[in-house]
Chains A and B, each alone.
Chain A
Amino acid sequence: MFGKRKLFVIVMAIIVVSFLIPEANLAYARVVKRDKSVVFSAVWPPQLDPAVGQGFGSAICYANIYDSIVFPQSDGTIANHLAENIIVSTDGLVYDITLKQGVKFHNGDELQAKDVVFSMNRIRTIGEGFGYLFIPTVKAISSDGPYQVTIELNKAFGPFLSTLVNLYILNEAQVMANLDQEGAYGEFGDYGKGWLITHDAGSGPYMVSEMRIQEHMIAERFVDYWEGFDANNPDKFIFVGTVEPVTTRVMMGKRELEISDQWQSEESFAALDKIDGVELVKFLSGSTLGIQLNTKRAPTDDVHIRKALAYIMDYEGILKGVYPGASRLVSPVSLLMPGSDPNIVGYQKNLEKALEEVKLSKYYDNLDEYPVDVCYAAEWVTADKIALLFQASAAQVGIKVNIAKQPWAKMISDVSKMETTAHANILTIGPHYGEAGTFISRYLSSSCGTWEQTEWLQSEMIDNMINDALATVNVTKRYIKYTKIQKTILDLCPTIFLVDVLEKHAYQSDYLEWGVVDQLSQGGKAIPVQGYNMYMRNIKVFPEKAKK
C-alpha cells in the first residue's frame, strides 16, 4: 500500500489540501457582513416569557423586547414609560395609571389597558419569574376604557413603582391565540408558556426573529417603535450562550462579539483587555457579597462573637487579592441602590476591638469547643479564597474555622432548616428591584430558610421596622427609615459585609458607544436594575470604525 515515496506524496497532498480549505474559508470570512449588530454573551438560557424568567440573560431580553409602565433611570429614579400619568392615593393603596396612546405591539396591535391587566394577572397566576414581586402586594387590577388601569394593593408598599419596572406588557390577543389547551391553567391552557419559549408578544424596541435554544437568540429592530431610534442604534442584537473563556477571547479578537459576559475570571478579563480595540468597563452591579452568620447556633448566636469576626476580617485582602478594583460593602445595601446611605461606616479591621468582643463573649473560656463552620457553593471558585481569608482572620482571635465546601444543591437543602444551616455562609445577594428596600427586606423573618437569609435573625423588632419602612409611601421618609434599619442591623451584626460586587464586561470600544460607559465617565452610576445597562437604544454601533 505505502512505499516511503508514496507516503511522502500523500502527506504532501494532505498538507496542500489543508492549506486550500482554510483559504476557501478565509474567503467566506471576508464576505461576513459587519453590520450594525451587537453580539453579547451570557449564561444560557434567556427566557423570553416575562412571567417565567428572572436571570441576567432574561432580564436583558425583557428590557429590549418588552415595554413596562415605568422605566429605570441612571440616577436611580423611575420615569414614566408606557404610563402617561400615575396617580397614587394618599394611603398608597391605589395606583391609577393612564397609558400612552398609539403604542404598537410587534404585530401591529395597539397596546391597551386590557393588555396590562392580562400581563399582571398572568404573572401572578403563573407565579414564576418576577411574580413574587406582585403576588403578595397586588390585590386587584382592572381597566376602565382602553387607556386607564387601576391597581389596588393589599397593603401600602412604598417601592411598588420600582417593582413595576419588572411588569412587562404582553399582547393579550397574541398570547391567547397561541395557547396550548393542555396546560395547567384551566381556560388559559398553558397561558402561552410553550409558544413564548421561542416567540415574543411585546412592544419593545426589538423583536425576536430567531431563537435557537443553546445557540443564539436574534432580535431585530422594531421599526414602528413609539420612541424611535438613533441612526446608529444596533439594527439587531444577538445573544450567544457561551461564557467559555477561550471561545470568548477568540470571538472578541475576531470582532464577532461586541460585549462579553460578566462571569469571566480576572485572568480572562486581563487577556481580553490586551486585545487591540477592546476595553474593560466595570460598574457596581447592585449585588452584594457577604458572610451570613447563623444567629441561632453556638457560637455565632453570641453577638460578641459575630462582632469579633466582623472586626477581624481581612477586608483589604479580599479587595486586593480576590476582587481587585471592587468597593467595600459596609452595610446591607449596595451603594448603587437609591436609598443607600454613603455615610454609614460599618465594621473595619481592628484587632483590639475584636479581642475585646471575644472577651465579652460567653464562649470566651471555651472557644476551642465551638469551631465555626463556613460554607460556600463548591461551584464558586472565588469563594475558596474568601473562606481561607476568613479562617486565617478568625484564627487571630482564637476562633477556629472549618471550611465546608458544598454543592449548591446541598447548600440550598441545608439552609432550609436552622439546625442544618452552617455557622457562616458565603453568599452573593442580588437586588429584586431598584431600591434599598430589596436588600433590607431580606432580613424579614419570612425570608428565613432560603439562601437569601441564612442568618435566621427572626427579630420581631427588625420585622416591624422593615414592614413600617416598606409601607411608607413618601420616598424621603422611607429612605430615612432604611438608614435606621441598616444601623440597627449593623449593631446586631448578623452579616459580615464584604464587597459591593462589580459587574465587569469587555467591549469593542473602537466602534461601540455604550451608554453606561458614558454615564460612568461623567461620574454617574449604572442603572440599578438588572438588564437595563444592556438596553440597546443606549448603545450605538459604528461598524466603519472597526479595526481590521
Chain B
Amino acid sequence: MNTLKFLFKRIMLSLIVLFGLSVMIFILGRVVPGDPARMSLGANAPQETVDKMRQQMHLDEPIIVQYGYWFSGIIQGDFGKSLYTKRPVIVDLAEFFPATIELVLLSGFLMGLGGLILGIISTKFNNTWIDNIIRIVSYLGVVTPSFVFAIIFVLVFGYLWPIFPTMGRLSRYLSFPPNHTGLLLIDSIIAGEWETFWNGFSHIILPAIALALGGMSQEARITRSSMLDNMSKDYILSHRAYGIPERKIFYKYLLKPSLIPTVTVFGLDFAVLFGNAFLVEMVFNWPGLSRYGINVMLQKDLNAISAVIILLGAIFVIMNIVTDLVVSFLDPRIQLAD
C-alpha cells in the first residue's frame, strides 16, 4: 500500500474515531448532574434568565437534537459560547492554543533531543558510573509527575535562587509583538524584537523543561535498551567482522533501527504533553489551552469542554499517523498497511 492510500485510510478512520469521541464527550457532559446555566448565573438569577440561557444553549431540547445543533456548529467552526470567558469558544481556542503549542513544541524538542542524547551516552558507557547515573535519574524522571518538577522549579529558580520568571509568557513591562502565528517567540523574531524574544524564552524555559523531563527519561531508557538489544544482533556482528569502523556501526547501523521504539513512544509522549500541561500551566500561570481546559471543566462549561477534548483527541490522532509514517521511514520493512 502506498503512502497516499495509507494516509487516506488513516484519516478516514481518524474521522470515525473523532466522531465517536464527540458523541461520547457530548453525552457524558450532558448526563453529569448539574445545570450549567444555573451554575453560570448563580443561585439568585431569575428563572427566566436561566431558562433563556438554557434555550440559547438548546439545553431544553432532547439530547439528540442538542447534538445535532452542536455537531452542525462545529462543522462550521462554531463551538458555541463559553460560559467561563463569555466569548465564542473558537476565539478562546485561537488565543490559548498557540501558547500551549509553543510550550509543547519546545518541550517535545527538549524531550526528543535530551532523551536521545542521554540514551546514546548511556549505551556508549554501558555499565559504567555514567550509565548508572543516567539510569537512576531516568527512573526518577519517569516516576515523577510533571507538576512536581514544576513546583520544584518554581521554588528553586523562582524563589531560592530567583533567576527565572515563574509567571506567564512575558513580563508585564513588555508588550506582545504583532500577532502572526500566536507563538510569542516566533512572532518576536519576525518583528525583530529581541528583548521580547529573550524575555519570552526565559519565561518558557522552566515550564518546558518541567514538562519534558518525564518523557525525556522515558525516551532515554527506551533508546538505551533498544540499542543494547540490537548491539548483540547478528547484523552488527557481521558489520564488525567486515571491519566497518565502530563509530560508523554505532551511529549508522545501530542507532537508526534502534530508534523505532523510541519514535513510537515519542509520538505518544508528545501527545501526552498536552495532558501533562494542565497542571504545569496552572503552576506557571501559563495562559494556555490546558489551563483553560481545567477551568472550563470546573465551571461545567459544556461547549468549551467539548472543544478542548475534541482538539486534544485530534492531536492524538495526528501524532499517531505521523509516528507511523516516521517509523515506516526508519524501517521500510514495516509496511504501512500493517
Are B199's CB and A28's CB within 8 A?
Answer: yes
Q: Which of B12-20, B29-37, B233-241 forms part of the interface with chain A?
A: B29-37
Residues of B close to A126: CB separation below 8 A? 49
| Min CB gap A485→B, angstroms | 19
Are A4's CB and B125's CB within 8 A?
Answer: yes
In the complex the two chains form, what is the Cα distance from A321 to B15 in whole Å?
54
Instruction: Kindly identify which residue among A7, A26, A214 contacts B292, using a CB–CB cutoff of 8 Å.
Output: A214
Residues of A close to B154: CB separation below 8 A? 246-247, 250
| Min CB gap A59→B, angstroms | 13
In the complex the two chains form, what is the Cα distance from A242 to B171 in whole Å?
15
Nearest residue (CB) in A for B153 is A246
* A120: interface (CB < 8 Å): no
Nearest residue (CB) in A for B195 is A28
* B333: interface (CB < 8 Å): no
Are B46's CB and A256's CB within 8 A?
Answer: no
Are B171's CB and A32's CB within 8 A?
Answer: yes
Residues of A close to B247: CB separation below 8 A? 1
In the complex the two chains form, what is the Cα distance from A409 to B34 in whole Å?
4
* A380: interface (CB < 8 Å): no
Nearest residue (CB) in B for A29 is B162
Give chain B interface residues in 154-177, CB to chain A under 8 Å.
Answer: 154-155, 157-159, 161-169, 171-173
Residues of B close to A253: CB separation below 8 A? 159, 162
| Min CB gap A405→B, angstroms | 14
- Most A CB contacts (10 A, CB to CB) among B56, B166, B169 go to B166
Residues of A close to B72: CB separation below 8 A? none
In the complex the two chains form, what is the Cα distance from A194 to B86 in whole Å?
8
Give chain B interface residues in 268-303, CB to chain A under 8 Å.
Answer: 282-285, 287, 291-292, 295, 298, 300
* A270: interface (CB < 8 Å): no
Are A410's CB and B167's CB within 8 A?
Answer: no
Residues of A close to B155: CB separation below 8 A? 246, 250
* A22: interface (CB < 8 Å): yes
Are A132's CB and B44's CB within 8 A?
Answer: yes
In the complex the two chains form, what is the Cα distance from A22 to B201 in whole Å?
12
Are A409's CB and B85's CB within 8 A?
Answer: no
Residues of A close to B42: CB separation below 8 A? 54, 132
Total residue contacts A-B, CB cutoff 8 A: 154
Are B46's CB and A132's CB within 8 A?
Answer: yes
* A168: interface (CB < 8 Å): no
Are B164's CB and A22's CB within 8 A?
Answer: yes
* Known A2-B121, A215-B287: A412·B35 in contact at CB below 8 Å: yes
* B242: interface (CB < 8 Å): no
Are A412's CB and B39's CB within 8 A?
Answer: yes
* B54: interface (CB < 8 Å): no
Q: Which of A44-52, A343-351, A492-500 forms part of the interface with chain B?
A: A44-52
Are A213's CB and B162's CB within 8 A?
Answer: no
Residues of B close to A25: CB separation below 8 A? 163-165, 202
Residues of B close to A22: CB separation below 8 A? 157, 161, 163-164
Give chain A interface residues in 292-336, CB to chain B under 8 Å.
Answer: none
Instruction: Kindly identify which residue among A24, A213, A216 contacts B172, using a CB–CB cutoff of 8 Å.
Output: A216
29 contacts between A and B (CB under 8 A): A1-B120, A1-B247, A2-B121, A21-B202, A22-B163, A32-B173, A49-B86, A127-B41, A127-B52, A132-B44, A194-B87, A212-B287, A213-B95, A215-B168, A216-B172, A242-B167, A247-B166, A247-B284, A251-B167, A254-B158, A407-B32, A407-B33, A408-B34, A409-B34, A409-B300, A410-B32, A410-B34, A413-B34, A432-B44
Given contacts A25-B202, A412-B35, A450-B43, could you give 12 more A-B pairs where the C-beta distance is less than 8 Å?
Answer: A1-B124, A2-B121, A2-B124, A22-B157, A32-B171, A131-B49, A184-B52, A214-B295, A250-B162, A254-B159, A407-B34, A414-B33
Q: Which residues of A contact B (CB under 8 A)?
A: 1-2, 4, 7, 21-26, 28-29, 32-33, 44-45, 47, 49, 52, 54, 126-128, 131-132, 135-136, 184, 193-194, 197, 212-216, 218, 238, 240-242, 244, 246-247, 249-251, 253-254, 256, 379, 407-410, 412-414, 416, 432, 447, 450-452
